[in-house]
C-alpha cells in the first residue's frame, strides 16, 4: 500500500478468503501494482470481528507509515484536498474539529488526498495517503471502512501534488453566514501546528521547516464555519487562496545560512537553553523556540519584548552584558530601570529553561564532516563553501577525539585529554581553551 510515500505491505496470510476480500476492497485506492521492497509490514488481527479487524488495520497502517517517514517529512494531522492543477489545501485540526466530515464532503469536489495525515517534503511536495474512510452507516453499529472511491471521493489529478494552503479549522455551532477566513500570524499558529504534527522532534530543523513551508504557501489561515458544505468555496480558487503553489527553494529548509551561530565562550555566564530548534519572527521582533521533553512532546515558546535580544546575546554573557545588549537593541526604557527589567526577564527565561547560567558546554558541530583516529584527524566545516580540510595531529587530535566522546565543559574536556595522555589537568587547561576557541572560529566546534 502507498502511504505517505512509504510502502506498507499488509500480510493477509492468516485471514480467511472473505476477510482478504474485505481488506482488498477497503484499501483498493492505496494499492500499488508492484510494491517491491516494503518499508513496513502490518498483519491484521485474525480473531476479531471484521469491523474491528478493518478499523485496527487502518490505525496500524497509519502508524507504520508515519514511523517509516519520521524525520523525513513534515506530517500534519490534517485532511488534504487536491485541485485539478495538483495544488493541495491542508485542513488542519485535532479529532472532533470536523476534519473527517469536511474531507468526505469536499472529496466529492476535489481529489481526496487523505483525511488523516498531510505529509510534505523539503521541496513542498505532498505525499498522498488514500486510506479507507471510517463511515457510520447505521446508528449504534461499528464504523465500516470504505475505499475513498467507493465512498464517492474523487481520484487524484495526474502528476505531483504540491501544498498550496494551510488552513486551521474552527468549526463553530454559532457561526453564521459564509465561512470567515482570517490570516493567522505564524507566532500565533505555531503552537497549534506543533501540536498537530507527528514526530516533529525527529526533523533536522522542525521550526524552520514549518516556517519555510508557511512562507512558501503565503501564510496560515483560520476558517471559522458551521457546515462543511461552506468549505467548497474556501478550498476552491474563489475562497481567497492563490491557486498556484509557491515552491520551497530547491535547497530545502535546512540551509547552512539558516543555522544559528554563537561566538565561543570559555567562562561561566548565560547561555541558551537546550531547545530543539528556533526561528526568528518579524513585525514585531520575536523568536519562537521549540523545547522537547523526554517523551518527545514539543512545546513552542514565543519570546517577545526584550527576550529576543537576550536570547541572541546569551553566548556566555554576564548579566551586565545582557543589559547592555537589550539597551543597545531597544533603547533605554522611560518608565523603568533597564537593569531591573532585564534581570526580571532573564529570571523568567531561566525558569522556563530558555536560558541557563552555567559553564560553556562544547561539542563538535552537526554540520562538520570528519575522519581520523588517535594521532591524526581531518575535519571540514560544511557551512563554508570555501573551507579547506583542517588536519589535526598530536595533542590537537587528542582534544578533538576527547570532544568526540560527547558534549562537555572545558574542565571535562581537559580531564578526558589528561586521562588519554597521562598528563596533569592543570598543565593543559589553558591550551585546551585556546584550541577550542580557534576551532569555534573555524566553525568546527561550538560552545553553548
Query: H or E segment at 396?
Result: helix 395-404
CB atoms within 10 A of CB 69: 23
Q: How far apart are CA 382 and CA 384, in angstroms?
A: 5
- pTM equals 0.81
* Coil, helix or strand at residue 408: strand
Instruction: From the options 2.30.30, 3.40.50, 1.10.3470, 2.60.40, give the CATH code of 71-239.
Output: 3.40.50
| pLDDT string in tens for the chain (448-residue length) | 899 999 999 999 999 999 999 999 999 999 987 656 889 999 999 888 999 999 999 999 999 999 999 999 999 999 999 999 999 999 998 877 677 888 888 999 999 999 889 999 978 899 999 999 887 777 777 778 999 999 899 999 999 999 999 999 998 888 888 888 999 999 999 999 999 999 988 998 899 999 999 999 999 999 988 888 888 888 875 334 444 444 444 333 333 333 344 444 556 899 999 899 999 998 889 999 999 888 888 899 999 999 999 999 998 899 999 999 999 999 998 888 999 999 999 999 999 999 999 888 889 998 899 998 878 999 999 988 888 899 999 888 988 998 999 988 888 888 888 776 667 766 677 788 888 888 988 899 988 7
Classify residue 437 by burial, with Cβ atoms within 10 Å: 0-12, 13-18, 19+: middle
Cβ neighbors of 279 (< 8 A, separation 6 or more) are 207, 208, 210, 211, 287, 288
Cβ neighbors of 224 (< 8 A, separation 6 or more) are 170, 171, 172, 175, 179, 180, 182
Do 332 and 317 contact (CB within 8 A), yes or no? no
Do 102 and 169 contact (CB within 8 A), yes or no? yes
Query: H or E segment at 270?
Result: strand 268-272
Distinct helix (H) and strand (E) counts, the chain: 12, 26
List the chain domain ranges. Answer: 71-239, 260-359, 363-447
Q: Does domain 260-359 have CATH number 3.90.930?
A: yes
Tell me which DSSP letter residue 286 carries: E
Which pLDDT tens digit goes with each residue over 349-359?
999 999 999 88
Which pLDDT tens digit goes with each residue over 169-205?
998 888 888 888 999 999 999 999 999 999 988 998 8
Q: How far apart are CA 369 and CA 131, in angstroms?
A: 41
Amino acid at each position: 500500500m502507498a502511504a505517505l510515500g512509504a510502502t506498507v505491505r499488509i500480510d493477509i496470510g492468516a485471514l480467511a478468503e472473505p476477510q482478504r476480500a474485505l481488506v482488498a476492497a477497503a484499501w483498493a485506492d492505496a494499492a500499488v501494482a508492484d510494491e517491491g521492497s516494503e518499508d513496513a509490514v502490518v498483519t491484521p488481527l485474525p480473531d476479531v470481528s471484521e469491523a474491528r479487524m478493518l478499523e485496527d488495520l487502518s490505525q496500524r497502517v497509519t502508524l507504520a507509515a508515519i514511523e517509516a517517514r519520521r524525520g523525513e517529512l513534515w506530517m500534519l494531522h490534517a485532511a488534504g484536498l487536491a485541485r485539478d492543477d495538483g495544488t493541495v489545501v491542508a485542513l488542519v485540526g485535532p479529532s472532533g474539529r470536523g476534519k473527517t466530515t469536511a474531507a468526505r464532503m469536499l472529496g466529492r469536489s476535489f481529489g481526496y488526498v487523505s483525511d488523516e495525515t498531510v505529509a510534505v517534503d523539503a521541496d513542498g511536495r505532498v505525499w498522498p495517503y488514500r486510506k479507507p474512510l471510517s463511515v457510520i452507516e447505521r446508528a449504534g453499529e461499528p464504523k465500516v471502512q470504505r475505499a475513498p472511491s467507493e465512498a464517492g471521493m474523487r481520484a487524484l489529478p495526474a502528476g505531483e501534488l504540491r501544498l498550496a494552503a494551510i488552513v486551521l479549522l474552527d468549526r463553530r455551532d454559532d457561526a453564521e453566514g459564509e465561512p470567515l477566513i482570517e490570516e493567522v500570524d505564524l507566532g500565533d499558529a505555531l503552537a497549534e501546528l506543533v501540536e498537530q504534527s507527528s514526530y516533529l522532534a525527529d526533523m533536522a530543523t522542525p521550526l524552520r521547516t514549518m516556517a519555510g513551508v508557511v512562507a512558501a504557501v503565503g501564510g496560515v489561515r483560520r476558517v471559522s464555519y458551521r457546515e462543511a458544505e461552506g468549505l467548497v468555496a474556501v478550498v476552491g480558487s474563489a475562497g481567497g487562496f492563490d491557486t498556484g503553489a509557491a515552491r520551497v527553494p530547491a535547497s530545502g529548509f535546512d540551509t547552512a545560512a539558516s543555522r544559528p551561530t554563537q561566538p565561543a565562550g570559555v567562562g561561566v555566564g548565560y547561555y541558551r537553553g537546550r531547545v530543539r530548534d528556533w526561528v526568528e519572527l518579524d513585525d514585531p521582533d520575536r523568536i519562537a523556540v521549540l523545547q522537547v521533553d523526554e517523551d518527545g512532546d514539543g512545546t513552542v515558546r514565543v519570546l517577545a519584548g526584550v527576550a529576543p535580544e537576550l536570547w541572541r546575546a546569551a553566548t556566555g554573557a554576564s548579566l551586565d552584558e545582557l543589559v547592555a545588549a537589550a539597551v543597545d537593541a531597544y533603547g533605554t526604557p522611560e518608565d523603568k530601570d533597564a537593569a531591573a527589567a532585564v534581570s526580571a526577564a532573564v529570571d523568567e527565561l531561566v525558569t522556563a529553561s530558555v536560558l541557563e547560567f552555567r559553564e560553556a558546554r562544547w561539542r563538535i558541530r552537526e554540520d562538520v564532516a570528519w575522519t581520523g583516529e588517535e594521532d591524526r584527524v581531518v575535519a571540514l566545516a560544511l557551512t563554508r563553501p570555501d573551507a579547506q580540510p583542517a588536519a589535526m595531529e598530536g595533542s590537537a587530535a587528542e582534544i578533538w577525539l576527547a570532544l568526540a566522546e560527547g558534549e562537555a565543559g572545558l574542565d571535562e574536556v581537559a580531564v578526558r585529554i589528561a586521562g588519554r595522555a597521562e598528563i596533569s589537568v592543570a598543565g593543559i587547561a589553558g591550551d585546551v581553551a585556546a584550541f577550542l576557541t580557534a576551532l569555534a572560529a573555524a566553525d568546527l566546534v561550538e560552545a553553548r
